[in-house]
Structure 1
Amino acid sequence: VAKFCQRYLVAEFSRLRDAEGVEAALIKVFHRMDDMLRDTSRVFAGLALPGARSFEHAADMRAAAALKRFMGGDGDAPAANSVSSGSSSATSDTSNGFRMDESPDPDEGLVQAGCTAVVAVKQGSDLYVANAGDSRGVLCRAGKAVALSEDHKPAQEVERSRIIAAGGFLSEIGGVTRVNGNLNLSRAIGDLKYKSNVELEAKDQIITAQPDIMKVPLTPEDRFFVLACDGVWDVMSNQDVVDFIGSKLDLGMSASAAACALLDACLAHDPKEARGVGCDNMTA
Structure 2
Amino acid sequence: MHFWGVFDGHAGSGAALMASKLLHRLIRDRLCEVAHLIENQSSPPPICLAKNGSPYQADQKKGACLDAEDQDACADRFHMEKVVSLESLVMGIIENAFKQMDDLIEKEKASYSISGGCCALTAVHLMGKLYVANAGDSRAIIVRNDEVIPMSNEFTPESERQRLQYLGFLKPELLGNEFTHIEFPRRIQHKELGKKMLFRDHTMTGWAYKTIVEDDLKFPLIYGEGKKARVMATIGVTRGLGDHDLKVYNSNIHIKPFLSCCPEVKVYNISEHKHGSDDVIIMGTDGLWDVTSDREVADAVTTFLSRCEPNDPMRYTLAAQDLLMRSRGVLKERGWRLPNDRLGSGDDITVFVIPINGSNSPPLERQ
Return the TM-score normalized by structure 1: 0.67
Pick from 230, 235, 257: which aligns with 1:205? 257
How large is the Cα RMSD of the aligned pairs? 2.6
SS of equivalent residue, structure 1 residue 23: helix
1:282 aligns with 2:286: no
Kindly state the Cα deviation for residue 112 of structure 1 after the two structures are TM-superposed.
4.0
Residues 194, 207 of structure 1: 8 Å contact kept: no
Kindly state the Cα deviation for residue 174 of structure 1 after the two structures are TM-superposed.
8.8
The equivalent residue for 1:26 is: 94
Kindly state the Cα deviation for residue 243 of structure 1 after the two structures are TM-superposed.
1.1
Q: Whose Rg is larger? A: 2
SS of equivalent residue, structure 1 residue 193: coil
The structure whose residues are more often strand, as a share, is 2
SS of equivalent residue, structure 2 residue 230: strand
Query: Whole-Å Cα distance in 2 between the matches of residues 116 and 11 of structure 1?
Result: 18
Pick from 299, 306, 320: which aligns with 1:259? 320
The CA deviation string for residues 231-258 of structure 1, in whole angstroms up to 9 with x for no partner, is 0000110111111111222122521121
Structural mapping, 1:164-179, within 5 Å: 164=168, 165=170, 167=174, 169-172=221-224, 176-179=228-231
* Shift in alpha-carbon separation, 1:125–1:158, aligned structure 2, 3 A: farther
1:161 aligns with 2:215: no
Count the aligned residue pairs.
212
Pick from 226, 243, 246: which aligns with 2:302? 246
Query: Whole-Å Cα distance in 2 between the matches of residues 158 and 243 of structure 1?
Result: 35
The structure showing larger relative contact order (alpha-carbon pairs under 8 Å, at least 6 residues apart) is 1
Q: Which runs of 5+ in 2 are unaligned?
A: 1-14, 35-88, 176-220, 248-255, 309-313, 352-367
SS of equivalent residue, structure 1 residue 205: helix
The equivalent residue for 2:215 is: none
The equivalent residue for 1:113 is: 116
SS of equivalent residue, structure 2 residue 317: helix
Q: Which runs of 5+ in 1 are unaligned?
A: 45-63, 65-76, 78-110, 196-203
Q: Which moved more, 1:236-245 or 1:163-172?
A: 163-172
Query: Whole-Å Cα distance in 1 between the matches of residues 227 and 138 of structure 2?
Result: 20
The structure whose residues are more often helix, as a share, is 1
SS of equivalent residue, structure 2 residue 245: helix
Return the TM-score normalized by structure 2: 0.53
Q: Which amino acid aligns with 1:248?
A: F
SS of equivalent residue, structure 1 residue 192: coil
What's the % identity of the aligned pairs? 24
Pick from 108, 112, 123: which aligns with 1:40? 108
The equivalent residue for 2:138 is: 135
SS of equivalent residue, structure 1 residue 280: coil
Residues 17, 24 of structure 1: 8 Å contact kept: no
Residues 234, 277 of structure 1: 8 Å contact kept: no
Q: Which amino acid aligns with 2:306?
A: D
Query: Whole-Å Cα distance in 1 between the matches of residues 235 and 343 of structure 2?
Result: 16
The equivalent residue for 1:101 is: none
* Shift in alpha-carbon separation, 1:234–1:152, aligned structure 2, 3 A: same
Query: Whole-Å Cα distance in 2 between the matches of residues 5 and 260 of structure 1?
Result: 24
Query: Whole-Å Cα distance in 2 between the matches of residues 276 and 13 of structure 1?
Result: 39
